[in-house]
């Protein structure tokens, strides 16, 4: 049994159809905590103590955000800079987050195919996420592949509902625990692992 | 202490405690409560107090003395100077025209010209006690009508000095026999000498105030005993009053002068807070005594004459007041409040009539009639104001609600009500409006209401603590009520009412100071907004920037300070009641600051802000 913390960062959540669908009702799932950073810290004045206590109380951390200019919105970077302190999260004595799981959940306007060499975005999504991956590694955490919803402007209601169902399914399995970490990390996206693992 | 004294005290206090809350509940204001209480316990109804009512009246007049001392204290020379045009213009017009018309009317019905003039002067006085108390309770002191009323009252109060000086000149015979009352130094002097004595006495008070009272108070303050300071304050007021009485003058005027002199001294606020409770109780006693002194036998004996006198005086006064208001361009609503508010004959008329009788300008039976008319007119005023507020203004003046508009208010359309649209409430309202949230506004300044309605706001006009107005403004359907009234007392009254009558309505409350915020916390209010906190901190942040701090660091320091201060407010609020009673009110403020500064040193987190910078310590 794991506890899952979603660190959600979206400056215009009220206008994001995709994220509203993904997040609808997730905080009702037992074991899942939703921490809406822009709602909690509209002035970017992050309460470091509160955030540290939240991290300590959860085993799985999710950075949930839209992909803005190939990275996360500003408040999430602010959060990382302030909360993941030297001597607490990293450094020789910084072991507070050791062996916790962490990954990105993100929404992107561009199609999955455009994130490739010789394509429009020139790099793969995993390459853009390297700063997150290395931060996780620095903090001695286990970094999982991202769960990504691509082409958000073109999604039909049905496709969106399917992605939302997958996300909820993922959260349920993270809470349940006992994940085959070794095989999960072979996938590019958690989206790919999920249908395989569902059967 | 005689049992008679205790019995009297019991009756008067019980009368106040029973009738004032009833009057307040009925929305009538405390003055009317005292007056009606006095009538009911008086000799003509229950008869709890009989002939000795007159003595009580003399005692209770001391409430008026204290009130004038306080008015003098509040009236700094600077304020006086700022209002000079209003005071001289409106005051002179009101006093002159009223005296002239009353003189003409009384002369016409057969009084001697001396008596007619003396009565005219007495009738031109309005009741500072009733008007100021009523205006303050209704939160109208800062409106146009409030300022105008204050100006006229001040002019009248000051005029009493020259009027008292003039009256002896009107006396038919210069050597009058004292009517068995207390002999004064002036008794038996010719008119011109009495006038001279009076001017000398007035100047003496000013000089003594400056050169004796202030050093005396400094000496007392050094001893640091609170009750001693209170005793000294009372001594000054009573001493001045006694001195004036000795020379045969109105003690109230002496106190007014003493207050005026002390207004510029450093003890102004302490004197104010020390005398205030005594004034409140004695003034209440005075109103009760006025009610009890109304001679119903006289009224039943001469109903036509008395009623003609009362109606005639009120009519003449109101006519002059309305014209005065019109000339100073008061709007209809403000002018009606001004006119009816000052329409009565005031407590100084008692003083003047007594003096007039003593000088034998007017016969004793007529003096009784005049005093009776004065007392009745004082009782009628709060009733007239009530009728004006409930019946006249809603129909002919600024409407409480816009009739057709009210029907249009669809449920949930205006989720927010703003009570009080002064500098605080209006900023909130403009911000909300800029974001497409229309709020319903409650305000009691008719001029402001007019303008807001022209701009298309939904505005309800009237006393925001009244249940019917709150209901018609939609307090039972709205989500949030913003209590932004300038006067903390009225704002607290509103908060209490809302908590009781509309428990589901979310309250967001303006607090003028940290102490107000503590009181609100005690009342169980969560959303408290201290009006100076954010602005002061923002200024502090700007200072840091000007001193070369990086702007983001300064901004963060400001954010942290506000967060810390809000938390400290809540922890320190709990400890507040542990403290012993403070020497002075202002001392409490200072002790509070000391406590805050000590707390800052211990727990304020900003000094340790090493965000982004942990490694630099190595």
Per residue in B240-279, pLDDT (tens digit) is 888 887 776 677 778 888 888 888 777 777 788 778 788 8
Considering the domain architecture, whether residues B382 and B416 belong to the same structural domain is answered as no
DSSP state of A71: B
Report the alpha-carbon distance of residue B519 to residue B466 in Å, rounded.
Answer: 22
End-of-domain residue from the set B481, B516, B531: B531
Residue B417 reports pLDDT greater than 80: yes
Residues in chain A within 8 Å Cβ distance of B611: 48, 81-82
Task: Determine contact: B513 vs chain A, CB below 8 A.
Answer: no
Supply the pLDDT for residue B401: 61
How far are the Cα atoms of B23, B24, B288, B291, B379 from residue B32, in angstroms, in the given order?
A: 7, 9, 9, 9, 7
Mean pLDDT of B497-511: 92
Residues in chain A within 8 Å Cβ distance of B615: 86
- The secondary structure element, H or E, covering residue A86 is none
Tell me if A66 sits within 8 A of A22, measured CB to CB: no
Residues in chain A within 8 Å Cβ distance of B563: 45
Considering the domain architecture, whether residues B430 and B350 belong to the same structural domain is answered as no
CATH number of the domain residue B449 falls in: 3.40.50.720
Task: Determine contact: A45 vs chain B, CB below 8 A.
Answer: yes
Considering the domain architecture, whether residues B213 and B71 belong to the same structural domain is answered as yes
Task: Determine contact: B546 vs chain A, CB below 8 A.
Answer: no
Per residue in B565-610, pLDDT (tens digit) is 888 888 777 766 655 444 444 556 666 677 777 766 666 655 556 7
Supply the pLDDT for residue A7: 97
Residue B479 reports pLDDT greater than 50: yes
Q: Which residue has the higher pLDDT, A93 or B233?
A: A93
Supply the pLDDT for residue B381: 84
In a domain, B615, yes or no: no
CA A156 from centroid of its chain's CA atoms: 23
B-facing residues of A in 119-158 (CB < 8 A) are none
Burial of B232 by CB count in 10 Å (0-12 exposed, 13-18 middle, 19+ buried)?
buried
Band of the pLDDT at B23, cuts 50, 70, 90? confident
Residue B182 reports pLDDT greater than 60: no
How many residues are listed for chain B in this entry?
618
Supply the pLDDT for residue B617: 46
Q: Which residue has the higher pLDDT, B566 or A80?
A: A80
Mean pLDDT of B186-192: 65
In a domain, B214, yes or no: yes
CATH 3.20.20.10 describes domain A4-198:
no
* Domain total in chain B: 2
Closest Cβ–Cβ partner in A48, A82, A86 for B615: A86
Tell me if A54 sits within 8 A of A6, measured CB to CB: no
Q: Which residue has the higher pLDDT, B399 or B421?
A: B421
Residues in chain B within 8 Å Cβ distance of A82: 611-612
Average model confidence (pLDDT) across chain B: 80
Q: Which residue has the higher pLDDT, B47 or B528?
A: B528
Q: Which residue has the higher pLDDT, B286 or B250?
A: B286
Considering the domain architecture, whether residues B57 and B87 belong to the same structural domain is answered as yes
CATH number of the domain residue B69 falls in: 1.20.1530.20
Report the alpha-carbon distance of residue B318 to residue B335 in Å, rounded.
Answer: 10
Task: Determine contact: A42 vs chain B, CB below 8 A.
Answer: no
Task: Determine contact: A49 vs chain B, CB below 8 A.
Answer: no
Report the alpha-carbon distance of residue B537 to residue B570 in Å, rounded.
Answer: 18
Considering the domain architecture, whether residues B416 and B521 belong to the same structural domain is answered as yes
Q: Which residue has the higher pLDDT, B484 or B35?
A: B484
Supply the pLDDT for residue B191: 67
In a domain, B58, yes or no: yes
Residue B615 reports pLDDT greater than 80: no
Can you tell me the ipTM of this complex? 0.80
Task: Determine contact: B605 vs chain A, CB below 8 A.
Answer: no
**Ramachandran angles phi, psi of B461, nearest 5°:** -105, 125
Give the residue among A130, A158, A51 at the shortest CA–CA distance from A96. Answer: A51
Supply the pLDDT for residue B608: 58
In a domain, B180, yes or no: no
In a domain, B502, yes or no: yes
- The secondary structure element, H or E, covering residue B440 is strand B439-443
Considering the domain architecture, whether residues B479 and B505 belong to the same structural domain is answered as yes
Residue B56 reports pLDDT greater than 70: no
Distance between B530 CA and the closest CA of chain A, angstroms? 19
End-of-domain residue from the set B486, B516, B531: B531
Band of the pLDDT at B359, cuts 50, 70, 90? confident
Residue B556 reports pLDDT greater than 80: yes
In a domain, B561, yes or no: no
Considering B209-223, B406-420, B439-453, B540-554, the range whose residues carry the highest mean pLDDT is B540-554
What is the DSSP annotation of B305-336? HHHHHHHHHHHHHHHHHHHHHHHTT--HHHHH
> Coil, helix or strand for A189?
coil
Considering the domain architecture, whether residues B9 and B138 belong to the same structural domain is answered as yes
Supply the pLDDT for residue A126: 94
Supply the pLDDT for residue B595: 72
Considering the domain architecture, whether residues B20 and B76 belong to the same structural domain is answered as yes
- Which domain range does residue B424 map to? 408-531
Q: Which residue has the higher pLDDT, A132 or B220?
A: A132
User: Per-domain residue ranges for chain A?
Assistant: 4-198
Mean pLDDT of B114-136: 87
Supply the pLDDT for residue B618: 46
Per residue in B308-317, pLDDT (tens digit) is 889 999 999 9
Supply the pLDDT for residue B409: 43
Chain B residue with Cα closest to A41: B559
Considering the domain architecture, whether residues B99 and B131 belong to the same structural domain is answered as yes
Which residues are within 8 A (CB) of A52 and not within 5 positions of it... i.e. 6 or more apart? Answer: A83, A88, A96
Mean pLDDT of B126-135: 84
- Name the percent of chain B lying above pLDDT 70: 85
Task: Determine contact: A27 vs chain B, CB below 8 A.
Answer: no
Q: Which residue has the higher pLDDT, B136 or B535?
A: B535
Task: Determine contact: B577 vs chain A, CB below 8 A.
Answer: no
Residues in chain A within 8 Å Cβ distance of B612: 81-82
Q: For B344-392, give the secondary structure using H, E and C.
A: CCCHHHHHHHHHHHHCCCCCHHHHHHHHHHHHHHHHHHHHHHHHHHHHH
Mean pLDDT of A173-181: 90
Mean pLDDT of A34-59: 95
Band of the pLDDT at B44, cuts 50, 70, 90? confident
Supply the pLDDT for residue B176: 45
Considering the domain architecture, whether residues B382 and B442 belong to the same structural domain is answered as no
DSSP state of A9: -
Supply the pLDDT for residue B540: 93
Task: Determine contact: B173 vs chain A, CB below 8 A.
Answer: no
Closest Cβ–Cβ partner in B556, B612, B614 for A87: B614
Supply the pLDDT for residue B544: 92
């Amino acid at each position: 049994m794991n506890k899952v913390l979603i660190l959600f960062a979206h400056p215009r959540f009220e206008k994001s159809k995709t994220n509203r669908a993904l997040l609808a009702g997730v905080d009702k799932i037992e074991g899942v905590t939703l921490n809406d950073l822009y709602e909690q810290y509209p002035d970017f004045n992050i309460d470091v103590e509160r955030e540290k206590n939240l991290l300590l109380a959860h085993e799985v951390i999710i950075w949930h955000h839209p992909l803005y200019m190939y990275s996360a919105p500003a408040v999430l970077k602010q959060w990382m800079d302030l909360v993941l302190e030297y001597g607490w999260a990293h450094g020789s004595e910084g072991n507070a987050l050791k062996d916790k799981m962490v990954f990105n959940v993100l929404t992107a306007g561009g199609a999955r195919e455009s994130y490739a060499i010789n394509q429009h975005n020139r790099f793969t999504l995993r390459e853009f996420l390297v700063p997150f991956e290395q931060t996780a590694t620095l903090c001695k955490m286990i970094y999982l592949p991202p769960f990504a919803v691509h082409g958000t402007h073109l999604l039909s209601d049905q496709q969106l509902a399917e992605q939302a169902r997958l996300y909820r399914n993922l959260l349920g399995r993270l809470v349940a625990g006992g994940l085959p970490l070794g095989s999960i990390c072979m996938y590019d996206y958690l989206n790919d692992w999920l249908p395989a693992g569902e059967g | 202490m005689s049992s008679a004294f205790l019995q009297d005290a019991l009756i008067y206090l019980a009368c106040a405690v029973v009738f004032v809350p009833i009057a307040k509940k009925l929305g009538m204001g405390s003055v009317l409560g005292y007056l009606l209480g006095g009538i009911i316990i008086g000799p003509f109804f229950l008869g709890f107090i009989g002939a000795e009512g007159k003595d009580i009246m003399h005692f209770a007049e001391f409430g008026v003395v204290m009130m004038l001392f306080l008015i003098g204290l509040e009236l700094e020379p600077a304020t006086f100077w700022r209002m000079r045009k209003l005071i001289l213009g409106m005051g002179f017009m009101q006093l002159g025209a009223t005296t002239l018309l009353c003189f003409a009317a009384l002369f016409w019905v057969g009084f001697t010209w001396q008596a007619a003039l003396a009565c005219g002067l007495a009738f031109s006085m309005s009741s500072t006690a009733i008007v100021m108390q009523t205006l303050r309770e209704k939160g109208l002191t800062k409106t146009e009508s409030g300022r105008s009323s204050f100006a006229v009252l001040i002019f009248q109060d000051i005029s009493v000095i020259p009027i008292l000086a003039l009256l002896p000149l009107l006396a038919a015979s210069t050597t009058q026999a004292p009517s068995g009352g207390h002999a004064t130094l002036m008794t038996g002097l010719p008119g011109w000498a009495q006038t001279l004595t009076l001017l000398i006495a007035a100047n003496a008070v000013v000089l003594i105030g400056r050169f004796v009272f202030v050093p005396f108070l400094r000496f007392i303050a050094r001893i640091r005993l609170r009750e001693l300071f209170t005793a000294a304050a009372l001594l000054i007021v009573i001493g001045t009053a006694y001195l004036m009485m000795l020379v045969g003058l109105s003690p109230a005027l002496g106190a007014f002068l003493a207050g005026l002199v002390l207004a510029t001294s450093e003890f102004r606020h302490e004197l104010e807070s020390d005398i205030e409770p005594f004034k409140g109780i004695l003034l209440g006693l005075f109103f009760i005594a006025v009610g009890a002194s109304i001679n119903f036998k006289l009224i039943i004996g001469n109903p036509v004459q008395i009623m003609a006198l009362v109606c005639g005086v009120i009519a003449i006064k109101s006519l002059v007041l309305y014209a005065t208001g019109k000339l100073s361009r008061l709007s209809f609503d403000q002018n009606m409040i001004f006119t009816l508010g000052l329409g009565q004959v005031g407590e100084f008329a008692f003083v003047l009539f007594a003096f007039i009788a003593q000088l034998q300008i007017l016969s004793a039976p007529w003096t009784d009639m005049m005093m009776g008319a004065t007392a009745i007119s004082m009782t009628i005023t709060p009733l007239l104001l009530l009728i004006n507020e409930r019946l006249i203004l809603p129909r002919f003046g600024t409407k409480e609600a816009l009739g057709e508009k009210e029907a249009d208010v669809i449920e949930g359309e205006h989720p927010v009500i703003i009570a009080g649209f002064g500098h605080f409430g209006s900023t909130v309202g403009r911000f909300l409006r800029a974001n497409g949230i229309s709020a319903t506004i409650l305000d009691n300044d008719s001029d402001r209401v007019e303008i807001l309605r022209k701009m298309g706001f939904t505005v309800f006009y009237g006393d925001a603590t009244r249940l019917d107005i709150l209901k018609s403004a939609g307090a039972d359907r709205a989500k949030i009520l913003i209590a932004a009234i300038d006067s903390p007392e009225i704002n607290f009254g509103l908060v209490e009412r809302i908590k009781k009558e509309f428990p589901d309505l979310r309250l967001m409350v303006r607090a003028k100071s940290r102490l107000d915020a503590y009181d609100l916390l005690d009342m169980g209010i969560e959303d408290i907004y201290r009006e100076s906190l954010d602005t002061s901190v923002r200024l502090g942040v700007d200072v840091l920037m000007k001193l070369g701090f990086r702007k983001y660091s300064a901004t963060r320091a400001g954010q942290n300070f506000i967060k810390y201060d809000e938390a400290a407010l809540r922890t320190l609020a709990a400890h507040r009641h542990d403290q012993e009673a403070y020497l002075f009110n202002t001392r409490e403020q200072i002790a509070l600051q000391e406590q805050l500064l000590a707390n800052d040193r211990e727990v304020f987190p900003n000094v340790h802000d090493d965000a982004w910078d942990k490694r630099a310590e190595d």
